[in-house]
Amino acid sequence: MRHRRGALPVAVVWLLVSMLVGCADEVVDERVGGQWYGAIEAPGAPVLVGVEFTGRHSGSVDIPVHKLRDRPLADVVAEPDQVEFGVPDMPGDARFAGRLDEPAGRIVGDYRQAGQTFGLTLSREPVPRPARPQEPQLPYPYISEDVSYSSGEFTIAGTLTRPDTADPVPAVVLVTGSGPHDRDETISGHKPFLLLADTLTRAGYAVLRTDDRGVGGTGGNLDQSDYGDLSADIEAGLGYLHGRPEIDSARIGLLGHSEGGYLAPLVAARPENDVAFVILMAAPAITGTEIALDQGTRVFTMSGATQEQLDANRAFLMDWTAALRAGQLTKADRLAETYNRSLPDGLRAASEQLTSQNTPYMAALVSYDPAPALAALRMPVLALFGTKDVQVVAEQNAEPMRALLAGDPDETVRVFEGLNHLMQPAESGLPIEYEWIETTVDPVVLDTVTGWLGERVPTG
């Protein structure tokens, strides 16, 4: 599941920011003015930053991993002996203070956020993007075609990859995590679903991956959708594959990542859908409310919050999720705004950022209990977790998953040491690391999936 990065939406507190805007001013010293690039030296997870000084007291910033682009800076001082700015769209009173090292042609200083200090050196040359060595490259040794089909009143668009053979082949439908995703489930420069599709198709399976509602070529509005709507979209994909002569209709399964691990079992548990197998990657086995409460507590703890702040945050999250579960979206707005006003100035969010989270989609997510669907599965199921996952924590979900799948005649639950929510080798496991990890999906996970599938749904 995803918080707009490929995991469950992290609680509203992750969005608490202030919206300060710098104003136009006199011309900046040419030694400091213009564009600069660097990487915040967070341990194990450097963060790319682009800064442009347009005046002595104005400028903008790009932080791709946080989806900030051309955002005005606050409290700008752009002088050779004093370079300072604040980043208003980041929580924790994010600020930089440094100076121009003219002989080296660099701006050197410290970036502070949430009580922590990291080095940041800015230079005129863009910082190279991390390599993505696993990303598939054309030409592919299989057929890849853009496809579309109907789900209710709108069109779903996606890509179908399949082996170049005349014989019908088994197929896998990929189900993305929470939030709006494209068909590749693009997250922090990674394309895990493109890699999974390539790996599985090379192993002999057809793979269908699609844009989420309101993304790319797919119509609809994700925020106004509930789990009935999203289940119908998956079922439409199954129906489409059943109509393709190249697909073996008796051997179609689902692979869900994160929130997709909620939706895949929900669809597979319905006998009429005739799902042959289910693969779950970082899928919660606890309720959406429990996930939201856990994530809210974790982010505050990692930010150095006091016990009083942790208690206030948890009380808010409990009231907020209760309002969403009751369908009281207006009350959820009011609770979020009241809580927001109680926070220090540097942590407050713009009102529209808070209310944008209080949607039928979010209500469906925090209301969902995966237990009935997981307990009803009676086909081969593979569930994978990583010990560095801070969004769907292995120690909270792996054992409940085993217990809920106990009635299934063929269930496998694996926990991989050192892997995060995207199944990458990680240090802290925090989402901020995703961009700087070159691996998109650990090869051991890819081998586990293809090996498990090959034993139960052979392509030969």
- Spatial strand order of the sheet with 278-281 comes to 143-151, 154-162, 206-210, 169-175, 247-257, 278-281, 381-386, 411-416
* CA–CA separation, 206 and 219 (whole Å): 24
According to the model, what pLDDT value does residue 3 have? 39
Q: How much is the average pLDDT of 317-321?
A: 95
Q: What CATH architecture is 143-286+370-456?
A: 3-Layer(aba) Sandwich (3.40)
| pLDDT for residue 355 | 73
Each residue of 223-239: pLDDT tens digit?
A: 999 999 999 999 999 99
User: 12-123: what fold?
Assistant: Lipocalin (2.40.128)
Which amino acid does the sequence have at 27? V
How many Cβ atoms are within 10 Å of 57's Cβ, its own excluded? Answer: 20
Q: Identify the pLDDT of residue 303.
A: 60
Cβ-contact 28, 78 below 8 angstroms? yes
Statement: residue 270 has pLDDT above 70: yes
The residue-averaged pLDDT of 172-199 equals 96
- pTM metric for this prediction: 0.81
**Alpha carbon distance 268, 438 (integer Å):** 33
Tens-place pLDDT, residues 336-358: 989 888 876 655 665 666 678 89
The 3-state secondary structure of the chain reads CCCCCCCCCCCHHHHCCCCCCCCCCCCCCCCCCEEEEEEECCCCCCEEEEEEEEECCEEEEEEHHHCEEEEECEEEEEECCEEEEECCCCCCCCEEEEEEECCCCEEEEEEEECCEEEEEEEECCCCCCCCCCCCCCCCCCCEEEEEEEEECCEEEEEEEEECCCCCCEEEEEEECCCCCCCCCCCECCECHHHHHHHHHHHCCCEEEEECCCCCCCCCCCHHHCCHHHHHHHHHHHHHHHHCCCCEEEEEEEEEEECCHHHHHHHHHCCHHHCCCCEEEECCCCCCHHHHHHHHHHHHHHHCCCCHHHHHHHHHHHHHHHHHHHCCCHHHHHHHHHHHHHCCCHHHCCCHHHHHCCCCHHHHHHHHCCCHHHHHHCCCCEEEEEECCCCCCCHHHHHHHHHHHCCCCCCEEEEEECCECCCCCECCCCCHHHHHHCCCCCCHHHHHHHHHHHHHHCCCC
What's the mean pLDDT in 9-24? Answer: 33
Q: What is the pLDDT of residue 346?
A: 52
Let me know if the fold of 12-123 is the same as that of 143-286+370-456.
Answer: no
Q: What is the average pLDDT across 41-61?
A: 86
pLDDT attached to residue 5:
39
Q: Identify the band that residue 97 occupies on the pLDDT scale cut at 50, 70 and 90.
A: very high
Residue extents of the structural domains in the chain = 12-123, 143-286+370-456
Place of tokens 């990692």: 302
User: Are 88 and 64 in contact, with CB atoms under 8 Å apart?
Assistant: no
pLDDT at position 68: 78
pLDDT tens figures, 191-205? 999 999 999 999 999
Range 13-29 average pLDDT: 43
Q: Give the torsion sign (CA, 257, 259, 264, 265).
A: positive
Mean pLDDT, range 271-294, rounded to an integer: 96
Q: Which two three-digit tokens encode residue 381?
A: 């199921």
- Confidence tier at 6 by pLDDT (50, 70, 90): very low
Q: In this predicted structure, which of 28-42, 400-414, 437-451 has the lowest mean pLDDT?
A: 28-42
Mean pLDDT, rounded, for 54-71: 85
Quickly count: other Cβ atoms within 10 Å of residue 327's Cβ.
12
* Angle, CA of 117, 120 and 125, to the nearest 5°: 170
Residue written as tokens 């002996």?
Answer: 81
First to last CA, the chain: 34
